[in-house]
């Protein structure tokens, strides 16, 4: 969830300058100890570009209509501290034969749904909801 919020914040609030992690932290309340590793993983996955320097930060590496929520979720799975709970087989026959297959099916369904939603879709929802965007309020005088 933090990764999706961070990418959405960058897409929705970026202007001419990259979005700094402290700005994301301020707007979204994502703890910095979680935010920085997530942002770095998203850079490694090619979803974000990291810009170095005092005015550096993060921007989308591709058009927001080409970034799906499934791809964001997959990119940050490796940063999770705990292993996948479905990798540990449950001890009972009910768990092994009924609960585990159900959970795996639900994860597959969830992933298919996430593949249908892009960052562009979420930006449009935010705009329709009336959520302010820093980028919309910033004049860009570059020619």
Structure tokens given for 140: 């860009």
What's the whole-number average pLDDT of the chain?
Answer: 85
Give CA–CA dist 16/51, Å, rounded. 12
- Tens digits of residue pLDDT in 18-71: 999 999 999 999 888 889 999 999 999 999 999 998 888 999 999 999 999 999
| Residues whose CB falls within 8 Å of the CB of residue 78, separated by 6 or more in sequence, listed in order | 41
pLDDT tier at 78 (50, 70, 90 boundaries)? low
**Among 63-72, 84-93, 124-133, which stretch is predicted with the lowest mean pLDDT?**
84-93
Asked whether residue 134 carries a pLDDT value surpassing 80, the answer given is no
Give CA–CA dist 130/83, Å, rounded. 38
What is the architecture of the domain spanning 2-137?
A: Orthogonal Bundle (1.10)
Asked whether residue 140 carries a pLDDT value surpassing 70, the answer given is no
Asked whether residue 82 carries a pLDDT value surpassing 70, the answer given is no
| Consecutive H or E run containing 60 | strand 57-60
- Based on C-alpha coordinates, what's the Rg of the chain? 18
Give burial (CB, 10 Å; 0-12/13-18/19+) of 63: exposed
Give CA–CA dist 131/138, Å, rounded. 15
What is the per-residue pLDDT for 62?
A: 94
Give CA–CA dist 79/115, Å, rounded. 20
What is the per-residue pLDDT for 63?
A: 94
DSSP result, 2-59: HHHHHHHHHHHH--SSPBPHHHHHHHH---HHHHHHHHHHHHHTTSEEEE-STT-EEE
What is the per-residue pLDDT for 94?
A: 83
What is the average per-residue pLDDT within 137-143? 43
Residues 99/90, Cβ–Cβ less than 8 Å: yes
What is the per-residue pLDDT for 89?
A: 59
């Amino acid at each position: 969830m933090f990764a999706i919020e961070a990418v959405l914040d960058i897409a929705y609030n970026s202007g001419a300058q990259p979005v700094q992690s402290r700005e994301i932290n301020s707007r979204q309340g994502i703890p910095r100890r979680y935010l920085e590793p997530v942002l770095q993983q998203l850079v490694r996955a090619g979803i974000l570009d990291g810009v170095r320097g005092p005015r550096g930060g993060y921007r989308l590496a591709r058009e927001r209509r080409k970034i799906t929520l499934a791809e964001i979720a997959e990119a940050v799975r490796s940063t999770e501290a705990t292993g996948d709970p479905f990798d540990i087989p449950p001890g009972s026959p009910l768990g092994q034969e009924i609960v585990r297959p159900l959970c795996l099916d639900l994860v597959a369904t969830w992933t298919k749904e996430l593949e249908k939603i892009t960052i562009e879709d979420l930006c449009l929802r935010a705009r329709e909801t009336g959520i302010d965007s820093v980028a919309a309020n910033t004049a860009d005088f570059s020619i």
